[in-house]
Structure 1
Amino acid sequence: MRPRVVCGIAAAVALFATACGSGGGGNGGGSSAAVTVPATAGAAYPVTVADCAGKETTIAKAPTKIVTSNAASLELLLRLGAGDRVIGTGFPPGKGTLPAALAEQGAKVPVLGDKTIPKEKLLGSGADLYVDTFGAMPMMGGGATGPSEAEYAAAGIQHVYLLSTACAGTPKAAKAPRTDLAGIEDDIRRLGAVTGTGARAEELVTGMEKQIGEVRTALAGVPEDKRPSYFVLDFDAGTKQPTAVCGRQVANAVITQAGARNVFADCDADFKPGSWEDVVAKNPDWIQLAVRNRGSEEATRKAFDDAEAFLRSFPATQGLKAVQEGHFVRLGSEVTTIAGVRNADAVRQIAATVHPDLVKNGQ
């Protein structure tokens, strides 16, 4: 039987240290044509997937021992119903970062590395599948690199990627800003096909598309030049120098779908160091206070309060239009800058905040 090809290279992608489908309705930044995985074909094998360079991997049967590189791929597997097959992860989810329904199961997954999984531990994990959110990047410590594809093969581990997050820094990455969630939706479909959970993957994508579609319909009458400008303050990255969330980052798609205009959409990267002079020159209409979940509602609220207090007291920002008008969006960075199902929730919450007369129920 000829392997079923789920997707080729996703061209519009982003990387955050912590894809082909539909559902964006806009320019996806040059992503390749979508290939839908039918719900009835969820357990059809073999399945062929490609990495950022187009190299194909064929999965002959459902994996039974999966290792994930970080909390983003772990969360997707939990949502797909494959969490009982995950035997380890790197960059484990912090307290409070997973949705309540997934937190207990996620906490039981063995941690193979507080950050990147050491090479020897990964190769000796007994995994038959490694789901890689990052793509090629130095492993922690000593400048060592991750396993080669030959080493993965020798250990009996098949290596697949979340293309929406693994490829942003590669030559294949699209230069145009990412404006829809097509790549994330295709990653969900691709992972569903690889793990034999295609029916559940389609349910997740359908839910995302429904939510985003409702927002898009509500904002259809708002012309581009009337959409408010928007700046993401990554407060936890430090305030000495702001981080610009650029056009290749998934957050740009979230902001665009929510009916706003990312002030740094034109920088050709996912993230890059910025300056407060740049932010002042952009003078955004709205500022997102993007903080990490602190593990409790009280602690997270304090983090939002601290971010707002900084902007109101810092000489460079206290005169900004958004600060003067109190136009702050209190929304965690995890759901905005990390690819996943909750990106659709972020679209609705941002839209309900910046377009309250048109979009309701932001929470």
Structure 2
Amino acid sequence: MFRIGAASRTLVTTLLLLPLAACGASGGKDDDKAGATAAGFPYTVTNCGVKTTFEQPPKRAVTLNQHATEILLALGLQDRMAGTAYLDDKIQPAYQKAYGSVRVLAREYPSREALLGADPDFVYGGYASAFDKGEGRDRDGLQKAGINTRLNIESCAGGPIGVDDLKTEITQVARIFGVPERGKKLIEREQQGLDSVAARLKGGKPVSVFVYDSGDSSAFTAGGQGLGNDIIRRAGGRNVFSDVHKSFADVSWERVIARKPDVVVIYDYGGTSVAAKRKRLLTDPALKDVPAIRHKRFAVLPLSSAVLGVRAADAVDDLAAQLHPEAK
């Protein structure tokens, strides 16, 4: 009941990564020039407590954080991006050419001066830190400067966030840019990927999972409120800290030991390599009897795949293959 052809899995993954502009987005209600007309405007939306009315689609957008950047690239909107900043890892291969046409403002967050120097009419942030008031990038201040903004809804969710919330994020972003049909197509592709994984895992037994993001004296892990928890569930896992009512939290190693995870999922990002994290866990004598450590069962998920963006369905697919190799 776990079987699906490897070729089929590869095809689904490839289709998920194709930018919408490459999929013939023309012919729908929005044209292939990414909203050259302003049909359907003004458009008013409330995002993370900020109500904004868009009189026309943005023409000079700046994205801060990788998942915000990849959403616009997946919608084929690189021609209306004036700048981008802050990657956690490499842009996915399917978007590399489009990304290469966009000006990189800073390796991490740009200064206010650098941001304003790009002359944006819209700034789209992935994390709340993108709009740091102390750095002069707060949403209210940018609005006063005539710049509309949006924050990825995962960063202001009042409760658990899941892959289903990606529909809201993509729908609203596509609507802001006047390309709702592209948004629909992107959502359909994501859903196809999720359905494919669900079919091949049907009837399987979930494995218990501990997420290791970082930490030495304590473990920084994924709780039950963030997207990572839903990705694990859809990939045939059970997050041992799903009862923690936060997206991320510090937990003691004693609690990790007590919950006896079968698999450790390592989040890959930043300056500490996966190999270094793996070594830290394997060489800790206190963890030697944890099933995942004893049997050296590790899976890896890029951090940029564990946040609300267009990698979500592919992340479920990739993690499912690691947790249930028999289901490939």
Q: Scaled by the length of structure 2, what TM-score is found?
A: 0.80
In structure 1, what is the equivalent of residue 12 of structure 2? none
For 1:187-202, list aligned pairs within 5 A.
187-202=169-184
**Cα deviation digits, residues 167-216 of structure 1 (max 9, x gap):** 04xxxx02xx44x4111232112111111232222222111111111222
2:156 is aligned with 1:167:
yes
CA distance in 1, matches of 2:266, 2:221: 13
Please, which moves more after superposition, 105-114 or 55-64? 105-114
Deviation at 1:65, TM superposition (A): 0.3
In structure 2, what is the equivalent of residue 272 of structure 1? 249
In structure 2, what is the equivalent of residue 8 of structure 1? none
CA distance in 1, matches of 2:246, 2:197: 27
In structure 2, what is the equivalent of residue 181 of structure 1? 163
In structure 2, what is the equivalent of residue 5 of structure 1? none
Secondary structure at 2:45 match in 1:
strand
Q: Kindly tell me: are residues 137 and 268 of structure 1, through their superposed partners in 2, closer, same or farther at Cα, counting changes over 3 Å? A: farther
Deviation at 1:136, TM superposition (A): 6.7
Gaps of 5+ in 1: 1-38, 295-299
Greater share of helix residues, 1 or 2? 2
Secondary structure at 1:159 match in 2:
strand
Question: Could you tell me which amino acid in structure 2 is paired with residue 133 of structure 1?
Answer: G
Q: Kindly tell me: are residues 323 and 147 of structure 1, through their superposed partners in 2, closer, same or farther at Cα, counting changes over 3 Å? A: closer
CA distance in 2, matches of 1:127, 1:349: 36
For 1:245-264, list aligned pairs within 5 A.
245-264=222-241
In structure 2, what is the equivalent of residue 31 of structure 1? none
CA distance in 1, matches of 2:131, 2:56: 30
Deviation at 1:145, TM superposition (A): 5.3
2:48 is aligned with 1:52:
yes
CA distance in 1, matches of 2:242, 2:221: 9
Q: Does the 8 Å contact 1:129/1:158 carry over to 2?
A: yes
Identity %: 29
Secondary structure at 1:189 match in 2:
helix
In structure 2, what is the equivalent of residue 239 of structure 1? 216
CA distance in 2, matches of 1:148, 1:98: 26
Secondary structure at 1:153 match in 2:
helix
Deviation at 1:127, TM superposition (A): 0.9
Question: Could you tell me which amino acid in structure 2 is paired with residue 348 of structure 1?
Answer: D
**Cα deviation digits, residues 125-181 of structure 1 (max 9, x gap):** 3111111222377738xx4553352x3334221112221x2204xxxx02xx44x41
Q: Does the 8 Å contact 1:127/1:156 carry over to 2?
A: no
Gaps of 5+ in 2: 1-27
Secondary structure at 1:316 match in 2:
helix
In structure 2, what is the equivalent of residue 127 of structure 1? 120
Q: Does the 8 Å contact 1:286/1:327 carry over to 2?
A: yes
Aligned counterpart in structure 1 of residue 138 of structure 2, from 147, 155, 163 = 147
Q: Kindly tell me: are residues 324 and 148 of structure 1, through their superposed partners in 2, closer, same or farther at Cα, counting changes over 3 Å? A: closer
CA distance in 1, matches of 2:228, 2:40: 34
Deviation at 1:332, TM superposition (A): 2.2
**Cα deviation digits, residues 23-42 of structure 1 (max 9, x gap):** xxxxxxxxxxxxxxxx6368
Question: Could you tell me which amino acid in structure 2 is paired with residue 343 of structure 1?
Answer: A
Aligned counterpart in structure 1 of residue 108 of structure 2, from 115, 124, 128 = 115
Q: Scaled by the length of structure 1, what TM-score is found?
A: 0.73
Deviation at 1:251, TM superposition (A): 0.5
For 1:306-317, list aligned pairs within 5 A.
306-317=276-287
Q: Kindly tell me: are residues 114 and 304 of structure 1, through their superposed partners in 2, closer, same or farther at Cα, counting changes over 3 Å? A: closer
Q: Kindly tell me: are residues 271 and 186 of structure 1, through their superposed partners in 2, closer, same or farther at Cα, counting changes over 3 Å? A: same
Q: Kindly tell me: are residues 261 and 193 of structure 1, through their superposed partners in 2, closer, same or farther at Cα, counting changes over 3 Å? A: same
Q: Does the 8 Å contact 2:67/2:304 carry over to 1?
A: no
**Cα deviation digits, residues 305-332 of structure 1 (max 9, x gap):** 3333322211122221012122211332
Deviation at 1:83, TM superposition (A): 1.2
Secondary structure at 2:115 match in 1:
helix
Aligned counterpart in structure 2 of residue 98 of structure 1, from 84, 91, 95 = 91
Aligned counterpart in structure 2 of residue 339 of structure 1, from 303, 308, 319 = 308
Q: Does the 8 Å contact 2:218/2:250 carry over to 1?
A: yes
Deviation at 1:123, TM superposition (A): 4.0
Q: Does the 8 Å contact 2:105/2:115 carry over to 1?
A: yes
Secondary structure at 2:211 match in 1:
strand
Q: Kindly tell me: are residues 276 and 247 of structure 1, through their superposed partners in 2, closer, same or farther at Cα, counting changes over 3 Å? A: same
Deviation at 1:341, TM superposition (A): 1.5
CA distance in 2, matches of 1:85, 1:166: 24
Q: Kindly tell me: are residues 154 and 309 of structure 1, through their superposed partners in 2, closer, same or farther at Cα, counting changes over 3 Å? A: closer
Aligned counterpart in structure 1 of residue 208 of structure 2, from 211, 225, 229 = 229
In structure 1, what is the equivalent of residue 296 of structure 2? 326
Instruction: Quote the RMSD (CA, aligned, Å).
Output: 2.6
In structure 1, what is the equivalent of residue 21 of structure 2? none
Q: Alignment length, in residue pairs?
A: 294
Q: Does the 8 Å contact 1:66/1:127 carry over to 2?
A: yes
